[in-house]
Structure 1
């Protein structure tokens, strides 16, 4: 197996030396496009959208601990994956007031150049790893910081949106007379409509994913492991300024059905279906979320494999063609491609979901699941959505996963990926 991986790495090095890894499928240099992004305008416009949503709900401000929300609101990034489970930094966003970033310990210098942050203070982490037996003390210090900040900014409005807060911390804020609300609603709705710079960032991320998928396709040979193939996506993403992969969704052969097996050291065999979902947080922290399924070279696709692929392809293309600005989610679900009964038990849990920095609002359920999971809302211009399909019969050997990321324009949904979807199983 080491020989196969070395061959893949040699090809990757050849790509870099020839410059092809830095060129998108559109023939544009990815590094030049990344350098042309106006980050100050990007950050400023996102903060403005957030404040509109906070104002609509009558909030004095919002307190964010989720690193994705902090980045959207402030444009700052610091140890994002670690702080997802160890909330050592947080940010206060005044609806009509200051943006105060509480940065982690000795890392204050990391965020000093943010044009959206008015003040940087040292944070007080109050989770057990750092606080130990002093959790209560540190929680009280944290709460005092928040209470004093809100009181100093606006004594008349005690409505604070919060995205993540342990109950013992929330209780101290409530006892101080602060009313707590779910910040996720406001920020998800702010993030739903993409600014022009966000669309550029998302297209750049999808183009990086397309480069990676092309490299994965060329590296797919019998005997390579799922993990070895999956590593190419990570390497390409990081090399182009990307950040992380949300999941490990690459499977082959009998591991493709039902969906959601994570990549393993299984040896891929000739003729196996290989399916994956990129879930890739790329340059500038924006998501490229596309799924493709290929057949490993060395054996022609079977009639069953072709049927699975054609069925999944029909679901994605039919549903994407339906999307129009102003269409209600319920109407869309009712008009969606009718899934044959034999595939319903292993269906994907939604028809469409939003995309931005990660998977985002909305999540549009299948009509089958509407009573339990259906939500009100409508598609709007400049949303970015992902149209989903998984096709596999219960007990059958294999399944096919397809997903297309698309920008909703005035005339409908336009695919963002140039990686072939139509008849790609034969490519």
Structure 2
């Protein structure tokens, strides 16, 4: 169940000290397994995982913030604003907030650039202080990885790929992470409630996106992606955007509350609505989509694989009127959820077709499953998505907005 969001004295809710401690413990466990002496990450989700520091959207492209985690030490945050102010607000980082590294992504084109050299000097000195200068350094989350690898190599420091280390830490959610994901799914229900109430002829797809985003921020979201909203002819073939198209009576409209973030944790939820009374054809198409998604959910359990889930979906791209799995990969797909919208594991028939090996599902994974029903050349398309937790008894569907039947909105006939 999703508890209240605010700190109270009468109920144990999210324990943020425990959340930070257990996330860091998992990261160190995977770092030790990797053989690296330290990892440095510019990835905003991994920065938050290691320190709870939130990298705001405008700062992400510049790669101005990063975290160094030594195997035998605590995380060091670079670029967290004014260090003294950050440490005042985040006392668990006391003494470990440093000014930002040079913005090498913006200015450097090779490993000999002064911005890269200064970065390597600073990190190299810290590695030496921890006695790790002879051990591999894992690098994650920067588009300048090749440049940095060359620069560190010239200093005698081996570089390895860091993403698998923190992916392995984050894929299994702790108790408090799961509670935060329940809350973010709960927030998506507020968005759908506002959207469903607003659906009527004349309102535009972009209007519904704005209504949904407003509802999410009113619920305390710290970020959200643009919602997907497609109606009428925009629902077939499948697309994921929104336009200024006005809704009309009889339109189907599917909406994805995607990237909705609470305390960093994401939900991704599709629902399909009808503007007014639905036809029998629309109801049957909806039922196809519902059976497709819940057939896949039914096999989720510890020890099953991502391939077991994908095998519950149509066995040929011809189902959607296409010849190649690559063309319909988004039509029936699954992806992990957590501090990013797309975490491991990935699930699709396309992944099986290209020969990717299976991934075993484990207790504590959270997976979004999304399916599409719509016939090539048809007038309508239906999209549904649920967020599912793998439990010791099988699974728990975290998303609660009604899904069993096509929801009809704007019913002046009643």
What's the TM-score, normalizing by structure 1?
0.85
Matches within 5 A, 1:396-415: 396-415=378-397
| Alpha-carbon contact 1:353-1:386 (below 8 Å) kept | yes
2:123 aligned with 1:140 = no
2:79 aligned with 1:103 = yes
Q: How many residues align?
A: 398
| Alpha-carbon contact 2:302-2:390 (below 8 Å) kept | yes
Partner of 1:177: 156
Inter-partner Cα distance in structure 2 for 1:117 and 1:363: 38
* Structure 1: 4+ residue segments shifted above 6 A: 130-133
**Cα deviations across residues 1-55 of structure 1 (Å, max 9, x unaligned)?**
xxxxxxxxxxxxxxxxxxxxxxxxx896544689942212111111111111111
Shift of 1:313: 0.3
Q: Which runs of 5+ in 2 are unaligned?
A: 410-414
Shift of 1:132: 11
Shift of 1:130: 7.0
The equivalent position to 1:361 in structure 2, one of 344, 352, 374, is 344
Q: How well do the aligned residues superpose, as a CA RMSD in angstroms?
A: 2.7
Partner of 1:285: 264
Shift of 1:129: 4.7
Inter-partner Cα distance in structure 2 for 1:404 and 1:364: 14
Shift of 1:234: 1.3
Q: Which runs of 5+ in 1 are unaligned?
A: 1-25
Inter-partner Cα distance in structure 2 for 1:396 and 1:97: 59
Other structure's SS at 1:115 match = helix
Matches within 5 A, 1:262-281: 262-281=241-260
> Does the C-alpha gap of structure 1 residues 282 and 159 become closer, same or farther in structure 2, counting only changes over 3 Å?
same
> Does the C-alpha gap of structure 1 residues 184 and 108 become closer, same or farther in structure 2, counting only changes over 3 Å?
farther
Inter-partner Cα distance in structure 2 for 1:84 and 1:419: 32
Inter-partner Cα distance in structure 1 for 2:378 and 2:128: 61
Partner of 2:365: 383
Partner of 2:137: 160
Inter-partner Cα distance in structure 1 for 2:377 and 2:76: 54
**Cα deviations across residues 194-246 of structure 1 (Å, max 9, x unaligned)?**
10000110001100111111111011111111111111221122122212223
Other structure's SS at 1:382 match = coil
> Does the C-alpha gap of structure 1 residues 99 and 344 become closer, same or farther in structure 2, counting only changes over 3 Å?
farther
Higher mean alpha-carbon deviation, 407-416 vs 112-121, is at 112-121
Partner of 1:258: 237
| Alpha-carbon contact 2:68-2:75 (below 8 Å) kept | yes
> Does the C-alpha gap of structure 1 residues 263 and 182 become closer, same or farther in structure 2, counting only changes over 3 Å?
same
Inter-partner Cα distance in structure 1 for 2:147 and 2:182: 42
Partner of 1:90: 66
Shift of 1:72: 0.7
Partner of 1:214: 193
Shift of 1:65: 0.4
Other structure's SS at 1:289 match = strand
Other structure's SS at 1:276 match = strand
2:18 aligned with 1:41 = yes
| Alpha-carbon contact 1:99-1:117 (below 8 Å) kept | no
Other structure's SS at 2:369 match = strand
> Does the C-alpha gap of structure 1 residues 371 and 131 become closer, same or farther in structure 2, counting only changes over 3 Å?
closer
Inter-partner Cα distance in structure 2 for 1:198 and 1:63: 23
The equivalent position to 1:393 in structure 2, one of 375, 387, 394, is 375
Partner of 2:412: none
Shift of 1:386: 1.0
What's the TM-score, normalizing by structure 2?
0.88
Inter-partner Cα distance in structure 2 for 1:49 and 1:224: 47
| Alpha-carbon contact 1:330-1:374 (below 8 Å) kept | no
> Does the C-alpha gap of structure 1 residues 303 and 222 become closer, same or farther in structure 2, counting only changes over 3 Å?
same
Partner of 1:121: 98
The equivalent position to 1:70 in structure 2, one of 39, 42, 47, is 47
Inter-partner Cα distance in structure 1 for 2:86 and 2:126: 23
Matches within 5 A, 1:303-342: 303-336=280-313, 338=315, 341-342=318-319
Matches within 5 A, 1:220-231: 220-231=199-210
Inter-partner Cα distance in structure 2 for 1:340 and 1:312: 15
Inter-partner Cα distance in structure 1 for 2:147 and 2:191: 45
Other structure's SS at 2:249 match = coil
**Cα deviations across residues 334-377 of structure 1 (Å, max 9, x unaligned)?**
355656833263644353211111221100222x5413163332
